[in-house]
Chains A and B, each alone.
Chain A
Amino acid sequence: MSVQLPAATGLDLERVDGRAKVLGLAPYAYEHPAEHPTYLHAVQSTIARGRITAIDTAAAETMDGVVAVLTHLNAPRLANTEDNELAVLQSDAVGFRGQFVAAVVADSPETAREAAAHVHVQYHREPHHAALRADHEDLYKPETVNAGFDTDTSTGDPDAALASAAVVVDRTYTTPAEHNNPMEPHTTVAQWDGERLLVFDSTQAVHNARKTLAPLFDVEVEQIRVVAPHVGGGFGSKGLPHAHVVLTALAAKVTGGRPVKYALTRQQMFFLAGYRTPTIQRLQLGASPDGRISVLTHDVVEQTSAIKEFAEQTATISRMMYAADHRRTTHRLASLDVPIPSWMRAPGECPGSFGLEVAMDELAEACGIDPIELRVRNEPTIDPETGKPFASRHLLACLREGARRFGWERRNPQPGTRLVDGWRTGIGVAASTYPARRQPANTARIRFTADGFYEVQIGAVDLGTGAWTALTQIAAEALECGPEQVRLQIGDTDLPAATVAGGSTGTASWGSAIIGAAQMFRKEHGGFPAAGDTSEGDGEKNPASKNYALHSFGAQFAEVQVHADTGEIRVSRMLGVYSAGRIINPRTARSQFLGGMTMGIGMALHEQSVMDERFGMIVNHDLAEYHVPANADIRQLEAFWLEEVDEHAGPLGARGIGEIGIVGAAAAVANAAYNATGIRVRDLPLTADKFLA
């Protein structure tokens, strides 16, 4: 190609799916037309552990409009029941309160729900444990933690180093269970046509969904089609198929080919769609009087469900963030009779950064130095964990740029000194980071159409992040055409294989495949293709990951106001500066960063899933009781990024932006609240009662 077109990446392109969404024409899972559909409503266990001894379905079965009532006694058998979360209605065992124990399929959603209320289940109740405690008796060490990280690490002699350190911060921080709560509830529409299964699902990964379903139903993956063109948020909770997907597909086996539609109620989402484990984190930082850290330990206690292990990698952030000769990180799990924790935006880094970054603030105060300067003094030259150089580490640049923009120099290190109209006011900072991973196993296909468009196909998913737009731009740039010449197709397993929209890996992973396909297309078909010309390309595994530590970094600044009379706390200002490699679309990227920060404010001030140990139940299981930020809670939010292209991050030079915005956000708010009040809150969320005089 000799003609140099302007690069499409970096363009502030409007969302290509925006118009359809505003007009209500972008179909979400529940809205796909289904012929003669049935509707499912589930019955959930009312005990936390035990066995079902009897189920009376007679009243439900005789109701007008009821198609079927499924229980473990009559539900079709699954071919594989190894995964206790997905083995729905396969046995009489109950592993947590809220688990599926029956389901009603009916001609209307109202009938299904009413009939479900008339299914009566009797249980043999067994003693249960549902509350996480640091002194839990049977804490165990999982083999690995999420994403395959080592459970424990240790270098040097941490205990001896702590004993001899001039300054020691030794504190315990806790974060509560939190639920993802995307706007669109978890929804599945399933229909069997003989041995073929069609699923409209609200998922972050169509290909992974069918890979998970195929062995359960003893079919080949090619016999299942999963479709998800638009998804209303997931934050990780739609990354892995949960029980409702299996239940809906199972129910569709007994409807004579009629589709089954099921959307979890908001209340059900608190039991059945994953959540972030509560964490108890002990941080010990030992330093010289001038703040140079010699030892850092981060010991985490958290929970898993007894029926399926999920181990959040809470302490991994402490392995790479700061220099220290002596270091220990550990994860221990309490196995409880509770719903199954799973991915929630930045698993690991998000809760772990609360402990680490508040501890850093405490160390700065103990040493009498500025929190930013403390981080400068402990900036590692290489990745402390792997010994590899960082491909790109601009944490200090983010801190300095943020400090300049935020007005950090006006901070009074003496807490509790600024009062504005009855509000104690202070500012705080925290560092942020997130690993840059690229998933292999992505393929893209490009076809030139008779009417002169490039059809770009990949089975990726846009869960509201802007993938429709960013991938269009990446394709346009790689093909050296305008974005308007690209017709992107995503969200369907009929399209080439793609990995999950999660772990901040989507754009970089899918984008690499699209670039590979574009290069192949030009190689095979040149600059003037004929209609029907088609090429495929794969995303390659990033070779740089062998030799470099790949992470994004950021700096979070918060201004917090705490009412001097009532303790009410508000975040009046928040500003983030991020180093995330190349930014594909500033408009959607800004949205991602601000979204992460907003969720971080929610984590800091509001979010807390309250476990009533007696019932084994999250009791505040709706949006009236489980608070996420309302508009009035979000005042001035600003996100900036460093202009950079990470040459080690692959052909795109981008590292992913979906999660770094939440990491460190709650710590920045807590540190600002301390600066405002002199009250150090180490247990999230920061509610008014904790600041009452």
Chain B
Amino acid sequence: MKPFDYASSASPPEAVAAVAGNPAAAFLAGGTNLVDHMKLGIAAPEQLVDISQLPLNTIDTTDNGGLRLGATVPNSDLAAHPLVRQRYPVLSQALLSGASGQLRNAATTGGNLLQRTRCVYFQDVTTPCNKRSPGSGCSALEGYTRYHAILGASMDCVAVHPSDMAVAMAALNARVEILGPSGERSVGLHSFHRLPGDQPQRDTVLDHGELITAVVLPPLPEGTRSAYRKVRDRASYAFALVSVAAVVRLEEPTDADDGGDSASPPRIAEVRLALGGVAHKPWRATFAEEALRGQPATEGKFRRAIDAELQHAVPLADNAFKVPMVRNTVVSVLRELCGLEGGLDQGGSQASDGNGEQRGGRTGTPASGGEDRP
């Protein structure tokens, strides 16, 4: 590891000034990603400015009923916060599905967003990588791509963003508050991370010296339900193969929908879907959302909607499975959130053991899963 200077800072503006004034300086919070990269030779800052002691570690209610999450709140505290669990279960579930207990204790809100994208070639300095060494080539493109992107990638980079938290935040329309040398600004989370294009070395829109101070979650309308589902190769402590964050609000069918037939499914008043493990950034499935909005909540609609998104997928040699995996996972999550019977395409009798865990938390008025069945 290259020797480096370490400095703590007394206030956010002081930290920003310290990093902005030194092109080789970096902020240090939990260090769970940066320190690894320093050991591996991927990052070699000359100065670390420690922001972990700055007063950015609170979770506050905003005037309009949302939440403002401080940049240095540990991931475990954020996941456990009663208001997060009550109002934004998708976020709590996403956080708890990430990393390990020890890492979540150290990792912070801002740091989680700023994880570098993940790729075995990026992690090994003996192989070419456009992200690490612009212009050197992408080793993954024709290499080992099981965990790589199927959406939004470029010929220069096919890595995926590893965060679970950010996927949930994308579905929640979160905004990132940023303090820079020239003042404050705010960026929608969906625009915060970049697609690789021809500049894969840039993961986010942050300029050097800019500091995330908070993430703001807007309030969700009464009756909105949300859930996060992560599919991975082992039961815990693994990055997502694919993940889905879904936020749904249903409304009762109008008479026009069912012609007085009370068995008609509810309609999807509002839906937001974000996908993890598929792209260089948390991927808002806007085509799918568009296809679902105002539609009856049926499995066929879910399937057609996600197919509208996945028709843009470009799988690589090892990850064609992600297309059906995303499709099935999205349908599964929507089925649960919309209270549809967990039916299957083929085979099998229905569950009899009856010890299934309750998924798909919700906000506002209780609307039990069973009541909305078609």
Contacts and interface: CB of A to CB of B under 8 A. Distances in A.
Interface of A: 44, 46, 110, 113-114, 117, 267, 416-422, 424, 564-568, 570, 605-606, 610, 612, 614-615, 617, 619-622, 624-625, 627, 629-633, 678, 687-689, 692-693
A225 to B, nearest CB: 33
Contacts, number: 124
Interface of B: 1-3, 41, 120-121, 123-124, 126-127, 139, 142-144, 146, 231-239, 241, 321, 324-325, 328-329, 331-332, 342, 344-356
Contacts of A689: 241, 321, 325
22 contacts: A44-B126, A416-B347, A417-B347, A418-B348, A419-B348, A420-B352, A422-B332, A424-B348, A568-B231, A568-B232, A614-B139, A615-B126, A619-B120, A620-B120, A621-B120, A621-B124, A622-B123, A625-B123, A627-B238, A687-B233, A692-B321, A693-B324
B345 A693 contact: yes
A606 B233 contact: yes
B270 to A, nearest CB: 24
Contacts of A564: 344, 348
A117 B126 CA distance: 11
Contact of A630 (B139, B142, B237): B237
A614 B317 CA distance: 15
Contacts of A632: 234-237
A263 to B, nearest CB: 13
Nearest to A416: B347
Interface class of chain A by DSSP: loop
A117 B143 CA distance: 25
A567 B325 contact: yes
A45 B41 CA distance: 16
Nearest to A633: B235
A132 to B, nearest CB: 16
Given A621-B124, A627-B238, A692-B324, A422 B143 contact: no
Nearest to A570: B235
Nearest to A117: B41
B334 to A, nearest CB: 11
A565 B347 contact: no
A46 B125 CA distance: 10
B233 A620 contact: no
A120 B300 CA distance: 59
Contact of A688 (B127, B325, B350, B351): B325
B238 A692 contact: no
Contacts of A633: 234-236
Contact of B356 (A416, A421, A615, A687): A421
Contacts of B139: 612, 614-615
B325 A606 contact: no
Contacts of A267: 124
Contacts of B241: 688-689
B324 A606 contact: no
B165 to A, nearest CB: 17
Nearest to A64: B3
Contacts of A619: 120-121, 124, 143-144
B348 A692 contact: no
B6 to A, nearest CB: 14
B28 to A, nearest CB: 17
Contact of A692 (B124, B325, B349): B325
Nearest to B326: A566
B107 to A, nearest CB: 14
Given A114-B3, A615-B127, A693-B328, A419 B234 contact: no
Contacts of B344: 419, 422, 564-565
Nearest to A567: B325
Given A566-B328, A605-B234, A632-B236, 5 more contacts: A117-B41, A419-B349, A421-B355, A612-B143, A620-B144
Nearest to B333: A565
A610 B139 CA distance: 14
Given A110-B1, A420-B351, A624-B239, A688 B124 contact: no
Contact of B325 (A110, A418, A566, A624): A566
Contacts of A110: 1, 3
Contact of A625 (B120, B347, B348): B120
